[in-house]
């Protein structure tokens, strides 16, 4: 091979190698973007589920607090009655 032919061959090979490397990198990035999109979808689903669970637990907590206040009132009423019975006896 002459010098100019060798140079052209080398440039063509480098261009092909560069193109191949770029294509491999692009495929790798496409795969990674797909993985990230799948992870994002999974996390959105988990987030929605957790928000629904939080709402359920918050509602349950509010009900328990209200029930606790009712019981507290009853216990205080019973204690008052017992004290008045004790004083009158």
C-alpha to C-alpha distance for 30 and 25, rounded to whole angstroms: 9
Q: How many domains does the chain have?
A: 1
pLDDT band with cut points at 50, 70 and 90 for residue 17: confident
Q: At residue 44, does pLDDT exceed 80?
A: yes
Residue 41 lies in a domain: yes
Residue 6 lies in a domain: yes
Residue 21 lies in a domain: yes
Q: At residue 61, does pLDDT exceed 60?
A: yes
C-alpha to C-alpha distance for 64 and 57, rounded to whole angstroms: 10
Please tell me the predicted confidence (pLDDT) of residue 19: 86
- The token pair at 85 is 């019975």
C-alpha to C-alpha distance for 61 and 58, rounded to whole angstroms: 5
C-alpha to C-alpha distance for 73 and 87, rounded to whole angstroms: 21
- Residues 23-40, mean pLDDT to the nearest whole number: 97
Determine if the pTM surpasses 0.75.
no
Residue 78 lies in a domain: no
**If you average pLDDT over every residue of the chain, what do you get?**
90
Residue 82 lies in a domain: no
Residue 11 lies in a domain: yes
Residue 84 lies in a domain: no
Q: What residues make up the domain containing 28?
A: 1-63
- Residues 61-80, mean pLDDT to the nearest whole number: 97
């Amino acid at each position: 091979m002459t010098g100019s032919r060798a140079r052209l061959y080398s440039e063509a090979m480098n261009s092909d190698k560069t193109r191949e490397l770029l294509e491999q990198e692009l495929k790798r990035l496409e795969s990674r973007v797909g993985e990230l999109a799948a992870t994002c979808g999974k996390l959105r689903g988990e987030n929605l589920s957790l928000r629904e669970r939080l709402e359920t637990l918050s509602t349950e907590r509010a009900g328990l607090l209200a029930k606790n206040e009712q019981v507290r009132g009853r216990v205080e009423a019973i204690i008052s009655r017992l004290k008045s019975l004790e004083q009158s006896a």
